[in-house]
C-alpha cells in the first residue's frame, strides 16, 4: 500500500512538472495525425495556427521551467541560511575557543594603552621589559596589577597549588617582578627630558589576594581593543586555559573582563618605588 502511494506521488509530480511539455507533444502529435494519417483537410492557416500554438506551448514551458528553477534556488538558499544560522547560534567547540597564549610582542608594541593583571606576571614583565620601556618612551599608558608580596595572596596561591608549602616560591616570583618593575620605573623616569612634560604613564598597584585569572588588556577602550584571559589551574601544573576577546566581536563579554580589571584596580594598593632616580639637570 505504501509503495503504491509512493508511485502515485511520483507520477503526479511528474505530470505537474511536465504538463506543458506533454501538452506540446500531444498537440503536435494531433496535428501530424490529422494531416498525415487521417488525411484531414488541414489548410495552411490551420497549420500556421497549430505551429504557433506549439511554439506558444514551448515558450510557456520554458517560462514555467525557469520559474521552477528560481523557486528551487530560493528554497535551497533559505534552507542553507537556516542551517548556517543554526550552526552560528550553537556555541563553538572548546577546542576552537581556547588557545595557547598568543605572542604578546605585536600587541605590546602597537598599543597605546596596556593593562596587565595577574598573580605575579613574572614571565610577562620579564619578556616584555624592552617593549614596555619603548612604549613608555612613545607615550603609552601602562598599568600593572599584581598580588602583594608577603601577604595572604601568597598563602592563597600556595593552597591552590600542588604543594601547599610553596609560599616561599611565590614570594620569590613576586619579588622578581617587583625588581623588574623598579628598574622599569627607574629607566622611564631617567629618560624624561628635562624641563618638558613627562612621556608615558606607568602605574603599579598591589592586590591583597590572588586573582583567579590573569587579564591582559590592549587598547581596552578602543574599537581595535583585545583582551587575553588566562584561567589559572588548581592543584596541577597542567596547561592553563587561555582565550582572546575582541572589542568588535565579543560585545558584553569583552566589556565584562575589561571591567573586571577596573574593579580590581580600584581596590588595589598603590605601589611606591624604592630605587633612587638620577634626575637630569634642568
Grid coordinates of 204: 603599579
Angle between helices 44-89 and 19-32 (to 10 degrees): 170
Q: Which CATH number fits domain 95-270: 3.40.640.10, 3.30.870.10, 3.40.50.300, 3.40.50.800?
A: 3.30.870.10
Domain regions of the chain by residue span: 2-89, 95-270
Grid coordinates of 150: 608577603
Decide if pLDDT at 1 tops 60. Answer: no
Residue 282: the pLDDT is 42
Query: What pTM was estimated for this model as a whole?
Result: 0.66
Angle between helices 19-32 and 2-17 (to 10 degrees): 70
Q: Average pLDDT of 120-142?
A: 95
Q: What is the pLDDT of residues 39-58, one digit of tens each?
A: 566 566 666 676 676 677 66
Q: What is the pLDDT of residues 172-221, one digit of tens each?
A: 999 999 999 999 999 888 887 765 667 889 999 999 999 999 999 999 98
* Residues 115 and 107: beta-carbon distance below 8 Å: no
CA 70 – CA 62 distance, rounded (Å): 12
Q: Give the number of other Cβ atoms within 10 Å of residue 19's Cβ.
A: 14
Question: Burial of 86 by CB count in 10 Å (0-12 exposed, 13-18 middle, 19+ buried)?
Answer: exposed
Task: State percent of the chain over pLDDT 70.
Answer: 70
pLDDT band for 130, please (50, 70, 90 cuts): very high
Mean pLDDT of the chain: 81
Amino acid at each position: 500500500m505504501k509503495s503504491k502511494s509512493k508511485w502515485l506521488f511520483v507520477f503526479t509530480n511528474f505530470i505537474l512538472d511536465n504538463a506543458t511539455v506533454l501538452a506540446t507533444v500531444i498537440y503536435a502529435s494531433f496535428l501530424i495525425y490529422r494531416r498525415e494519417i487521417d488525411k484531414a483537410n488541414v489548410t495552411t492557416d490551420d497549420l500556421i495556427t497549430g505551429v504557433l500554438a506549439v511554439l506558444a506551448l514551448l515558450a510557456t514551458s520554458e517560462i514555467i521551467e525557469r520559474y521552477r528553477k528560481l523557486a528551487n534556488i530560493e528554497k535551497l538558499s533559505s534552507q542553507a541560511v537556516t542551517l548556517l544560522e543554526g550552526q552560528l547560534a550553537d556555541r563553538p567547540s572548546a577546542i576552537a575557543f581556547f588557545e595557547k597564549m598568543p605572542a604578546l610582542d605585536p600587541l605590546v608594541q602597537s598599543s597605546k594603552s596596556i593593562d596587565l593583571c595577574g598573580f605575579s606576571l613574572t614571565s610577562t614583565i620579564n619578556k616584555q621589559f624592552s617593549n614596555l620601556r619603548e612604549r613608555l618612551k612613545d607615550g603609552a599608558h601602562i598599568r600593572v596589577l599584581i598580588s602583594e608580596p608577603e601577604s595572604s595572596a601568597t598563602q592563597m596561591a600556595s593552597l591552590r597549588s600542588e604543594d601547599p608549602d610553596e609560599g616561599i616560591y611565590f614570594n620569590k616570583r613576586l619579588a622578581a617582578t617587583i625588581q623588574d618593575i623598579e628598574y622599569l620605573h627607574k629607566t622611564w623616569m631617567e629618560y624624561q627630558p628635562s624641563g618638558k612634560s613627562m612621556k608615558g604613564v606607568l602605574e603599579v598597584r598591589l592586590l591583597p589576594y590572588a586573582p583567579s585569572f590573569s587579564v591582559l588588556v590592549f587598547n581596552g577602550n578602543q574599537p581595535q581593543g583585545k583582551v587575553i584571559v588566562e584561567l589559572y589551574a588548581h592543584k596541577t601544573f597542567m596547561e592553563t586555559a587561555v582565550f582572546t576577546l575582541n572589542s568588535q566581536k565579543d560585545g558584553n563579554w569583552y566589556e565584562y573582563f575589561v571591567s573586571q580589571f577596573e574593579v580590581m584596580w580600584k581596590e588595589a594598593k598603590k605601589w611606591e618605588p624604592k630605587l633612587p632616580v638620577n634626575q637630569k639637570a634642568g
